[in-house]
Amino acid sequence: MTDQAHYLGQIEKLVNSHALHSSESLCKLLKYLGHHALEHPGAPLKEYQIATELFGRQSDFDPQVDSMVRVQAGRLRSKLSEYYASEGSDDALWVELPKGSYVITFHPRPAAAPSRSPGNHASDMPQERIAFPTAWISVAVLSFLLIAALGFIGYLLASRKSLRDAQSVEAEKVPAQFATFWKGFLTGPEEPLVIFSNAAFIGRPDIGLRYFDSTRDSKAQVFDHYTGVGEVLAVHSLDVVFDSLHRPIRVKRGSLFSLDDAKDNDLIFIGSPSENLTLLEIPGTQQFKFRNVPAGPRKKDMEITNVHPENGEPLEFLASPSDVPLTEDYAVIALIRGLNPARSVLILAGTTTLGTQAAVEYVCREDSLNELLTKLSANKPSDLKPFEALLRVKVARGVPVGSDLIAVRSSPQ
């Protein structure tokens, strides 16, 4: 068998192993890196190349913004270590993905030193007698090393227990409302993915920008490098909350979102479908829907429609008109079923960027979150079911200064 066939055989063995077979994306990545290493020996690989060729990212992929490739590579390194520490411990060939590189390497496992069989001739007898003291010394050394190893393991276990105890003390300081509401975003295999809106614009920052209009701008250059101040502050608020829960978040702008992300991650969408266009690709809200006003003096303004109004409730909710200072906005908080029912999906969106900021801040504060959970009769994580809530937001001098919870609905299961 040629070396290349031997290496490819090891790749296939890894793909079919217990450590990797359940992760399609990691198997794809391993095969891709393996073929590249064999077909282009010594040639480096960049995140951009992997993202666009393997994972289908668009040509504007920016590794500084989207960490998907780094995350997947880190997961693959962990799985390779897991494999060779268990079911692959006797494999003659190691596959390694060095840190800081996307080029895998193949290493033969060092052969164990052959054991020395005692001879059958009389000339061997003196050697056997001489060997006994050496054997006893070896036993003593190994015993000492074993005792030292056991002691070190005990120290590590004690340290881990102390760390867990310290974390438990810290966890007690986290408001119970946070643990209840955010539980679904703390247990997934990956950190939650926060997708913020970055609408499509036409024009240039120095001469003015306007929203992209597909009916008249089909050939125009689209700019999708901007987002609202509310989205920026919203990401900060979420980062503070998840830091208190000892769970990092990943952040991605909406134009880089893909359906693969929807299948494998817990998702938090910041911004309405008018600007966070990725919301149009997944199941959305059913009780409170965003749309542009079809006719009348507020034509094309963004509004929230009340699909099933209860007694005395309006059919539509609109922010202050665009030709006067913004003093009122409306926003939706929705926990819904996504493409992958095993993952959690949260939508936090206003009709303006300030409404979006208010929706995020509402679920990041203990007092307001307590109000929402009380309305939902959710005292523990298992009580929290899909829902949609509507907020009226008061704005002063470009800042959301208060939010009122005016309606709560159960979403379809």
Model pLDDT, residue 393? 95
Q: What is the pLDDT of residues 268-299, one digit of tens each?
A: 999 877 666 666 656 678 899 998 888 989 98
Which of 74, 108, 142 is the endpoint of a domain? 108
- Residue 333 and residue 362 in contact, taking contact as beta carbons nearer than 8 Å: yes
- Residues facing residue 410 across a β-bridge: 387
Q: How far is CA 77 from CA 28, 30, 74, 85, 404, in A?
A: 14, 10, 5, 12, 48
**336 and 223 belong to one structural domain:** yes
What is the total count of domains within the chain? 2
What is the domain extent for residue 59?
3-108
Residue segments in the chain with a per-residue pLDDT below the cut of 50: 113-134, 136, 166-172
pTM for this model (two decimals)? 0.58
226 and 369 in a common domain: yes
Task: Among 62, 82, 108, identify where a domain stops.
Answer: 108
Is there a contact between 271 and 254 (Cβ–Cβ < 8 Å)? yes
Task: Say if 121 falls within a structural domain.
Answer: no
- Amino acid 400: pLDDT: 93
Going by C-alpha positions, the residue among 188, 343, 190 that lies closest to residue 263 is 343
Number of other residues whose CB lies within 10 A of the CB of residue 117: 7
Residues 89 and 222 in one domain: no
pLDDT of residue 276: 61
pLDDT given at position 39: 87
The answer to whether residue 334 is domain-embedded is: yes
Q: What is the pLDDT of residue 132?
A: 40
- Exposure pattern of 91-116 as b/e (b: 16+ CB <10 Å)? bebbbebeeeebebebeeeeeeeeee
Q: What are phi and psi of 58, to 5 degrees?
A: -75, 170
Given the structure tokens 């008109």, which residue do they identify?
Answer: 321
